[in-house]
A = this chain, B = another copy of it.
């Protein structure tokens, strides 16, 4: 599938991917149907399959095209910055993603929950990035800027805590009542991380 030539093709492909994100993130890969996606994109089902060869291909393109943006907050964590503020900034950017892009979060959550059946071969690259940042955190700890701490589990903590608000939104809302949890969530996370990390 090469680059779309015309403006309308580009628009349709974009609409399909947006619709697919909506449907896949809510129902998972198997739970989603092409009828739902075509409907949400404002196209007929055969027309949808004119732009993408298969359901699998739409899903794969979604995942791979979003993955890079999803890892950006971690890439931006800067070796040269203030350690506590860098980690806090990373956590905040991650929580912003949960607030602003909950469907993307749930798309990845579905994928990981089922054992990364479509993203298995990108896991080594994730490990490479995480290991690299783990070294940065270990350096900060050795310099006495933060407490000595397992950097991988710190990463899991930040992932778990931030993504929880997007992925398990239904439960969060049910427990809190109707509220937008994000302002308090950030204050809470800042308290937790500052205390956890203080040297």
Contacts and interface: CB of A to CB of B under 8 A. Distances in A.
Interface of A: 26-31, 106, 109-110, 112-116, 123-124, 126-127, 130, 147, 149-150, 152-157, 159-161, 163-165, 167-172, 174-177, 181, 184-185, 187-188, 191-192, 195-196, 198
Given A175-B130, A188-B149, A170 B29 contact: no
Contacts of A192: 157, 192, 196
A112 to B, nearest CB: 5
A161 B171 contact: no
Given A196-B191, A196-B195, A181 B168 contact: no
A149 to B, nearest CB: 7
Contact of A123 (B29, B123, B171): B171
B150 A188 contact: yes
23 contacts: A27-B30, A27-B114, A28-B110, A30-B30, A110-B113, A112-B170, A113-B167, A123-B175, A126-B175, A127-B174, A130-B175, A147-B191, A149-B188, A150-B187, A153-B181, A154-B188, A156-B161, A156-B164, A156-B172, A159-B168, A160-B163, A195-B195, A195-B196
Contacts of A184: 150, 153
Count chain B CB atoms within 10 A of each CB in A154, A175, A181 and give the residue with the most.
Answer: A175
Nearest to A115: B170
